[in-house]
Structure 1
């Protein structure tokens, strides 16, 4: 038997009948929850927008910093990365700390390479300059002697000092002017010579003028010049200085000004060659020197100035291993030596070429004492200083703190030169 269908009551079926079923209203809890959600959504949207702006700004700043850092690194690191620079720096530090001899060998090889490409035949150059026609210069010297030298004497007598400048060597002008000073006490100084500085000048003045004013312990050059200036009261000295702008004199100009402050006792006539030579004096020193600037253009080749310089072009660089001497220059040096110094010359190079290593000072002293060349170490040092000044040897300090000497003249040249003097280098060795 089939089940009966149950029909549901529909409100929409009969619209005339109003529904008595109450409509459910939203509770306050639900309303409150919906409002909070809207606030959170708005806050979240604001926060999201703010974060996006900040992220864009931060991304732009990071990009700018990265570009700036990369540019700085590229400039200071010379296109290499930091790791590469660190590796090379470590290797460099290790090489410097571990093996300094390699750096010295590199410097020597560079110097040797330069001198090989820039060799100059000094004897030929000297002969060429000496054979140059100097008739015009001789006429100029005669003109200076007749017209200018009397004026210079008046300048010096009036308390002024004279500074000669111009194109060309002015050495012969001072040599000619020495004849005018034959009746006065004067001293000629070549400022380009090695080891000749303000202290050497003060020492020479003290000894030759019999001032009895030696340098005291811990006394500065300025205070020593001031003491000599006081001792020279009543005496007169004229200083003639060639190339007063030489490197060894640039730092002692204050002492020179102190010495020349007594214008009645000490007078100066000097020459300069460099165009900016007056920069070695400040305004106060220039005011105290009372210079009369005299322009003398001789257009003469400065042969002596070139030979006493450190020109690599001429092979006169003291740092290079190449010889800076010739047979003629050694002969001139040999004639200025005493007999004991000549024996010491041969003894030193014999010991140096035997070992091919620097000769220790005390080893040389013992050998010289056995050969009756020097009886005291001070006498030996005096002789060796003359060798050093003429670039025959160089004086260094060893790792143990003792002085050691190295020759800077080639073996072949020394051998030929000593054979020409009937003092063979290997004579004592054969005996």
Structure 2
């Protein structure tokens, strides 16, 4: 209002009023400066308010410099109450379905690498028939590569493919697969050494039906193939005439499986077969935290439990396992054990007493309580009220456990 009044007086004044005009002009300039400074003050205050709002959004902390450092250093770390057990547990088929739908990265580069490896097929075949056996290592699953090599190049003789990562595989299964599956002959069950000797003698005869035998083993360093008996039997096969081994390993210490004698028998040529492929098949038998699984840990879990028990406790378990395995053979039963192949408590106690594994009824019940806690032995009442004890494992898993004991 004052500024408008001064402007009117300034326009109405004449040239004679020069001093008055200068005075009015000076006052107008002062008013402009005051207005400008007030606008700047308002702008700075608005900026400060914005900074305060942003600071509150960040948690209300405006500390800077060294004070900020010590505040962060001694401040309480934020943690979450979420745990892994709160994650949704998937069914096995859902888990594998999601894995199959997952897009692979670097698919074209992996395909190029696979094609480069295929160019070595003729060299590998030549090395096999020069008296060597082949062992492949490197990052990534080598299963598809070795299967492709076997189906493409190893076509002039029986081919046996062994999945060493299978949780219940055993040397007996491998030998039976060779004789019954590849050669089509039935060998009486007996000692492993006799079975191996039969196969070696077959391929050393002049009148044999097949010239060569090819054995492809995925993961020769699998958990169930690492034992001394299995590696010895396989090394004897590898050293035989006209029997050729093609294997893969993934464990960094796989070379420690063999002493000088076994290494000489295997006569390896090592090849780097890096593929960067996923281990989907190899890991499908492992327990995952994301998959709903049974409380029983299978053969591996049973082995860990039995190793931690006393000799008498293992004897108690072995008596029931041998009885159940015999009953499952008679009944030709392939599924998990149940009360139909179980052992009554009276018979169980009598067998344990005869084997000097328990000395009293209380001792046996104590051992059974521990096995029940580990889900290794279950019991069920029969129609006549008799309590029957059984091991809830399938025949192949039970056989593998007995071989390890």
For normalisation by structure 2, the TM-score amounts to 0.50
Query: With structure 1 as the length reference, what TM-score do the two structures score?
Result: 0.47
